[in-house]
Structure 1
Amino acid sequence: MNGSKLALRIDTMLESKAWQGQGLDRLATKAVRATLTHLRLGPAWEVSVLGCDDARIAALNADFRGKGQPTNVLSWPSADRAARIEGQTPPSPDPAWPELGDIAIAWGTCRAEAEAAGLPLRDHVTHLLVHATLHLLGYDHERDGDAALMERLEAEILATLGLKDPYRDHGPVGPV
């Protein structure tokens, strides 16, 4: 944390060699910081990011969601922050507990999705990290109103980073 209590802390672990040299730590910091800034939450938060392969994320997906296939990104919030009313903003996290949670992102699935959509890999990964950070903050897409809110926020946050709206400009190539 560089000695500052108000610094954003992103702990990135590269379990898959494919992520080496891809700047996942930089992309994660950029995505998380942009999300927190957009939501006016300040910088004093912690997130862990695992860069893994499809086999690892399939195992995690099976363990935690009962789905034994790879997915692009998974997230585990450190607390239940979900909005109680569909389409409403979740409550802000408690600053006394700076750990927002953990994210795992799969190289093969991300690369394949980016290629299929004709997107630069870094843009797609940034989108997925914004999406996962919103999950850590209590946003979800299970109900229609929540999905609409989450997609709007993703588009707004990505626009602050100079990236296109993934739901309008490239079809439904996004998180599942």
Structure 2
Amino acid sequence: MSAVAEKLDGTAERLRAAVAADPGGVLENIARNEGVSYRAVLDILPEGQAVAFPGSAFERVWESLVGWPGEVTFIVHTADGVFETRGAIPPGTTGRGYFNIHGDSPIGGHIRADRCAAIYFIDRPFFGRRSCSVQFVNHDGTAMFKVFVGRGADRELDAGQVRLFEDMRSAGA
């Protein structure tokens, strides 16, 4: 939906009100409840909470994530479940229509990187705690997967990863 159409039918205002009513809640729930794409919700988050870059930066962003020290939380969130894996982001290469992940990590598989429309750097509260993630969104407006800054045993964000996240976001991924 174009920005003009959103203004005419009040979608953007409705979404902003839904986010304001539950500022640390699950954004997929807001998208489902409001009948919009996940990306539409990301696009109306308060200033600074969501910074978007083009999907064409996929390999560059992935390669930067490979260099992060320690473990991240890799999440795939579908209508049927939320799947989480902790580990280091392994390297990958393009071949046979996929970005193929390989390395010594529990994170592995094959990604249709050509379907990545945008990459969002999200920094927002989630159930009362700061949460930082890099989220890859497809052309349908759905999250392909998300990479969350890791947390230590004290449940605090890994300071080194936060610094790298902020540097990538500031540098334009």
Higher relative contact order (CA 8 A, sep 6+): 1
Q: TM-score, normalised by structure 1?
A: 0.26
Larger radius of gyration: 2
Task: Say which structure is richer in helix.
Answer: 1
